[in-house]
Amino acid sequence: MRRVRRTKILATLGPASENPEMIAKLFQAGADVFRLNMSHLARERLPERVEMIRAVEAKFKRPIAILADLQGPKLRVGTFEGDSAMLVKGQSFTLDADQTPGNEKRVYLPHPEILSSLEPGHTVLIDDGKLRLRVKSVKSGAAVTEVEVAGKISNRKGVSLPDTVIPVAAMTEKDRSDLEAALDAGVDWIALSFVQRPEDVAEVKKVARGRALVMSKLEKPQAIARLDEIVEISDAVMVARGDLGVEMPLEKVPGIQKLIVRTARKLGKPVVVATQMLESMITSPVPTRAEVSDVATAVYDGADAVMLSAESASGQYPVEAVATMNRIAEEIEQDQSYWSIIKTQGSAPEATGSDAIAAGAHQIADTLHVKTITAWTSSGSTAFRIARERPNSTVVALTPNHNTARRLALVWGVHPIRTKDASDVDDMAFRACKFAVREGFSQISDRIIIVAGVPFGTPGATNMVRIAFISQEHAAQA
């Protein structure tokens, strides 16, 4: 199951794809990571889904990453007399703490922390931005707004607050229970929704304690305002364009996407581009030309992964959607302008020995036209650093840890393999050459680059780079 592309594909599982046969088909079509959306998956059913994916992993003998996506705080209005009301542009409409059913003049907002945080001039969006209110005044337990974009408002519609920092954590009680269930089930990545501040991420990492890595979903203006801090503390980030496009003007989203991807690449953190990438394939076997260009843009930008949501979870053509995304990524990475764009977006390595070694391996690979860089890694940090450089070589990550191999399935250009740790420098070189041949990335008389840390098995101790020649003996052992 050797992939010929470097950009990874993340597929969401759902009603259309939650059986072992379909999961296997999605993996064969190109999925590297499977997303379990906790907004729709009961935590009691989570272990069963994880076991299905692990069975596919065992069948194909390739590490597969599992991402559990926490729902996050869902803000909603209360109910209405007759289930709905019609708002007229320019009228006053009050959000209050009165639990009685609402009407065309007011409605209950069951979030006192919002009422205490709203200020005059703040925007309140209802139902994914279909209605827009502007706060005129705030008093105890109520906010009086003016309707700027009118329409029908009905029971339990969602509320978005692009101007307001909400004094609540990104994790709800449901998220805490889901997080513990996901960690117990052995998922590899946790996606945290509606991140506003670095402290939100720190809270999840404190609970995870390294049992899974944490991916921050960037979908609020408050997160963009503190982007560097959030990316720095996160293990990976996601450009969650759905809610981002609700809380910010749509025309700003493409620029923000590029900003997030550049920032993540600069700081060496994997970045996923998500939402509506092949939306039309929910009901059509082929995408629109605009959707193909959208996926291509993310690949040209050097994103680590592109994600399918409803396309693979509930669409009519889940396998075709993954296969289409796979073909787009493969084709773009063969385009003559791809590497020139990737290189111009690079940044200087951090002032650490490990980053200097990774940058040096990239430079040597470019100079000698080496096809394979082999990284011996315990925690995965060596492979992360090399991938940050976006080398025109496949990064074969050799690790003794199951968890590390699975986590690296998300990372750009990394082909993870679980194997026992090297016993000495000669063993390290011999087996690196053997795996490069066995996996089909190199052949006899090729040179490969080996990056490792000595002493072996010490996380974060990347301090050695070596060039090795592949001999007949290596090929015979492969």
Active site residue 7: no
Q: Check residue 279 and report its DSSP letter.
A: G
Catalytic: which of 3, 8, 217, 269?
217
Sign of CA dihedral 125, 131, 132, 133: negative
Q: Identify the H or E element spanning 374.
A: strand 372-376
Q: Cα–Cα distance between 409 and 305 in angstroms, integer?
A: 10
Active site residue 269: no
**Region of 258 on the Ramachandran plot (φ > 0 left; ψ -120 to 50 alpha; else beta):** alpha
Distances 418 to 344, 395, 399, 401, 408 between C-alpha atoms, Å: 33, 14, 5, 6, 11
* Token duo for residue 465: 């780079």
Catalytic: which of 94, 275, 382, 404?
275
Catalytic: which of 6, 8, 35, 447?
35
Residue 377, helix vs strand vs coil: coil
Residue 77, helix vs strand vs coil: coil
DSSP string computed for 403-421: HHHHHGGGSTTEEEEE-PP
Active site residue 197: no
Taking CA 171 as the corner, what is the angle to CA 165 and CA 175, rounded to the nearest 5 degrees? 150
Catalytic: which of 76, 136, 205, 266?
76
Active site residue 438: no
Annotated catalytic sites, by residue?
Answer: 35, 76, 217, 275
